[in-house]
């Protein structure tokens, strides 16, 4: 009840004006009036639009994947992970599996952030047990010589969206996604995952103009790609900036905040009602400014964020998503029960979408996800 009353009585405009001093340029979501039509019965969308709910909607990052036996069974039908992503029948099935098993409030398109470099013509592959491998872009010339972004290359992704949207239960929302320019660029430059994305950070210091060009190409491609995902049928998108946390403040502003803000405003030019969640993993104390200046509807919080701090420091008109430690979900038991209760309590007075602080891990026992669902569904915060 407390949650209902609190949310219903705080006037949205009042909340916004309290934070006006925070930012220089009003974010697009606040400066335009774009009332979304509530012609659906989808708790995830209601909450993302700022509505009240007795219990938070829930989905989990990487909810389709190797912890599910049914995923492992169909994954073995494709030799390469990218082939799997580009086979609409398989990608559709992978998207739907966690919905059937757990009844999450949102499905996330099954694909990968690295289909974008692939659509630029960069060679991308996934080695079992080693993660992604790309032909690294090591010189400014390589960036200048990058091919055109081919949206048509991603047609199988849009066909997957079309198939999934016809197969989802009416109460289940559908989320599309892309990687944020900094995170995608960091893989394009290093050619693989690294502990701290040092290759891309060094490249950006040494060749700022060429790095800016790469970021600009990714901003434009991301706008086109996400707009097309909406056209195909997704109802919200998430922008994954998984490596936002490795940058000093000035670089965070230039390579994470500004590009994501440009994607969001560009996308809203194409689709005024686009619902957008940004996930700046590791952004820590930059998060309130990031939320205000990008104008994202929702912010995905990572595992390390203190929920008491987040509840108080992030403007109340921003919907918070997260952020149970994926390792707690492996542990289960009392640790899981307590951690879930704490998160529910911390966000009881504001719109909250329950999620993990990063992707679900392959070792996660199915029963622990079932216990999580039971706890969330029986919660009344």
Binding site for ligand CP3 (CB under 6 A): 61-66, 75, 81, 108, 110, 112-114, 126, 131-132, 177, 179, 193, 240, 242, 359
Q: How far apart are the C-alpha atoms of 70 and 348, rounded to whole Å?
A: 35
Q: Is residue 3 annotated as part of the catalytic site, yes or no?
A: no
Show the tokens assigned to 289.
């400014």
User: Nearest Cα to 54, choosing from 344, 322, 373, 338?
Assistant: 344
Which of residues 300 and 351 has its CB atom nearest to ligand CP3 in the complex? 300
- CA dihedral sign of residues 296, 300, 305, 310: positive
Q: How far is the CB of 238 from ligand CP3 (least distance, A)?
A: 7
Q: Is residue 347 annotated as part of the catalytic site, yes or no?
A: no
Show the tokens assigned to 99.
């919905």
Q: Is residue 241 annotated as part of the catalytic site, yes or no?
A: no
User: Nearest Cα to 17, choosing from 7, 31, 6?
Assistant: 31
Secondary structure (DSSP) of 137-177: --SHHHHHT-----SGGGHHHHHHHHHHHHHS-TT-EEEEE
Show the tokens assigned to 145.
């010589």
Q: Is residue 112 annotated as part of the catalytic site, yes or no?
A: yes
Which of residues 199 and 315 has its CB atom nearest to ligand CP3 in the complex? 199
Catalytic residue among 67, 71, 86, 187: 187
- 121 — alpha (psi -120 to 50), left (phi > 0) or beta? left
Q: How far is the CB of 47 from ligand CP3 (least distance, A)?
A: 19
Q: How far is the CB of 71 from ligand CP3 (least distance, A)?
A: 7
Catalytic residue among 49, 105, 112, 302: 112
Q: How far is the CB of 211 from ligand CP3 (least distance, A)?
A: 19
Q: Closest-CB residue for ligand CP3? A: 242
Q: How far is the CB of 359 from ligand CP3 (least distance, A)?
A: 4
Bridge partners of 174? 107
Which of residues 180 and 311 has its CB atom nearest to ligand CP3 in the complex? 180
Catalytic residue among 66, 101, 254, 270: 66
- CA dihedral sign of residues 194, 116, 281, 80: negative
Bridge partners of 353? 321
Which of residues 114 and 219 has its CB atom nearest to ligand CP3 in the complex? 114
Which of residues 132 and 316 has its CB atom nearest to ligand CP3 in the complex? 132
Show the tokens assigned to 133.
């491998």
Q: Is residue 100 annotated as part of the catalytic site, yes or no?
A: no
Q: How far is the CB of 128 from ligand CP3 (least distance, A)?
A: 7
Catalytic residue among 36, 75, 101, 133: 75
Which of residues 7 and 299 has its CB atom nearest to ligand CP3 in the complex? 299
Q: Please, are residues 221 and 177 in contact by the beta-carbon 8 Å criterion? A: no
Catalytic residue among 3, 49, 62, 241: 62
Q: Supply the DSSP symbol for 255.
A: I
Residue 257 CA neighbour count, 13 Å, CB half: 22
Q: How far apart are the C-alpha atoms of 292 and 224, rounded to whole Å?
A: 23
Catalytic machinery residues: 62, 66, 75, 112, 187
């Amino acid at each position: 009840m407390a949650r209902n009353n609190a949310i219903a009585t705080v006037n949205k405009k009042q909340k916004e004006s309290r934070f006006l001093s925070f930012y220089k340029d009003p974010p697009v979501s606040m400066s335009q009036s774009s009332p979304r039509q509530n012609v659906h019965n989808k708790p995830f969308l209601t909450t993302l639009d700022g509505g009240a709910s007795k219990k938070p909607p829930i989905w989990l990052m990487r909810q389709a994947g190797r912890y599910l036996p049914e995923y492992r069974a169909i994954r073995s039908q494709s030799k390469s992970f990218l082939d799997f992503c580009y086979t609409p029948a398989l990608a559709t099935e992978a998207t739907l599996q966690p919905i059937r098993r757990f009844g999450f409030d949102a499905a996330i398109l099954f694909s990968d952030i690295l289909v974008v470099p692939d659509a630029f013509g960069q060679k991308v592959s996934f080695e079992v047990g080693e993660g992604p491998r790309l032909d690294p872009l090591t010189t400014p010339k390589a960036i200048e010589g990058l091919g055109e972004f081919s949206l048509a290359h991603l047609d199988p992704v849009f066909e997957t969206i079309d198939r999934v949207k016809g197969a989802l239960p009416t109460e289940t929302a559908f989320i599309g996604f892309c990687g944020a320019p900094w995170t995608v660029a960091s893989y394009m430059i290093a050619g693989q995952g690294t502990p701290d994305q040092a290759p891309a950070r060094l490249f950006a210091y040494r060749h700022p103009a060429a790095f800016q060009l790469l970021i600009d190409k990714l901003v434009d491609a991301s706008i086109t790609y996400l707009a097309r995902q909406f056209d195909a049928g997704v109802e919200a998108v998430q922008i994954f900036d998984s490596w936002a946390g490795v940058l000093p403040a000035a670089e965070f502003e230039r390579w994470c905040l500004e590009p994501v803000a440009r994607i969001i405003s560009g996308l809203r030019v194409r689709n005024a009602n686009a619902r957008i969640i940004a996930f700046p993993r590791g952004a820590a104390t930059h998060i309130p400014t990031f939320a205000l200046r990008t104008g994202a509807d929702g912010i995905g919080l990572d595992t390390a964020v203190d929920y008491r701090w987040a509840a108080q420091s992030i403007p109340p008109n921003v919907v918070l998503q997260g952020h149970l430690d994926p390792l707690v979900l492996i542990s289960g038991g009392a640790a899981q029960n307590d951690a879930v209760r704490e998160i529910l309590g911390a966000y009881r007075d504001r719109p909250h979408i329950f999620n993990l602080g990063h992707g679900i891990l392959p070792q996660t026992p199915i029963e622990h996800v079932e216990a999580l669902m039971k706890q969330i569904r029986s919660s009344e915060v």
